[in-house]
Amino acid sequence: MDTEFIIKYIPLYVKAAGLTIGLGIVGIFFSLLIGLSVSLIQYFKIPVLKRIAGIYIELSRNTPLLVQLFFLYFGLPKAGIRFSSQACAIIGLSFLGGSYMAEAFRSGLNAIDKVQEESALSIGLKHGQVMRYVILPQALSLSVPGLCANMIFLIKETSVFSVLALADLMYVAKDLIGLYYKTDEALLMLVIAYLVLLLPISVAASFLERRLRYAGFGN
């Protein structure tokens, strides 16, 4: 182990981790937006949109992110549609994450008994209020474990962004291996970097999950 080498290249990894986290957060944000809209479209069974949402979920869940990115980054420019590496990364991650988030939201929404909606209506709440005060608070808290798992999954998936020539953690590690042949050091720092990024999220997720179990009402 060459500690001098490690110390010298820590800033490179910190910068790369920043990129990974930055793209991850933006991607997760859009995934949540897409996921919530898609799950609400399916929940209210909006005629045409429901079909489109269904097709989107199947397409996005059954293809690998790497193939999606190759298509976005190398394929689409040939049809005149050109995105920057960052845009491709975010579009790809949101396209993939949207369907996973939608499934998490959907399972939360489906877990709420029909009785709840009917009782809320019978005490005179309007449809908007039923959603706002009765269904969504319970559904959201029930979908939190799924959402957290998806966030970790999506941050892990960012590891393929190096194919878009983005200098993320994988890219830096590969670069150092190629340039200096310091395989052990580069890989060790890579593992530590991902641990530092993901371990706190994973711990926070399991803590949150335990706290939210109390939110389940009546069962």
Smallest separation (angstroms) from another protein to the CB of 181: 8
CB-based contact 41:50 (threshold 8 Å): yes
User: Shortest gap between Cβ of 169 and another protein (angstroms)?
Assistant: 8
Crossing angle of helices 3-43 and 169-180, in 10° steps, is 150
Query: How many helical (H) and strand (E) elements, i.e. helices and strands, does the chain have?
Result: 9, 0
163 forms part of the interface with another protein (CB under 8 A) = yes
Query: Which segment (21-29, 86-94, 124-132, 173-181) binds another protein by CB under 8 A?
Result: 173-181
> With binding defined as CB under 8 A, does residue 179 bind another protein?
no
- CA dist 142 and 209 (Å) reads 9
Cα–Cα distance for residue pair 43/50, rounded to 1 Å: 9
64-83 footprint of another protein as x/- string (CB under 8 A): xxxxx-xx--xxxxxx----
Written as six digits, the tokens of 87 are 């845009």
- Which residues bind to another protein, rule: CB under 8 A? 58-59, 61-68, 70-71, 74-79, 152, 156-160, 162-163, 170, 173-174, 177, 183-184, 187, 190-191, 194-195, 198-199, 202
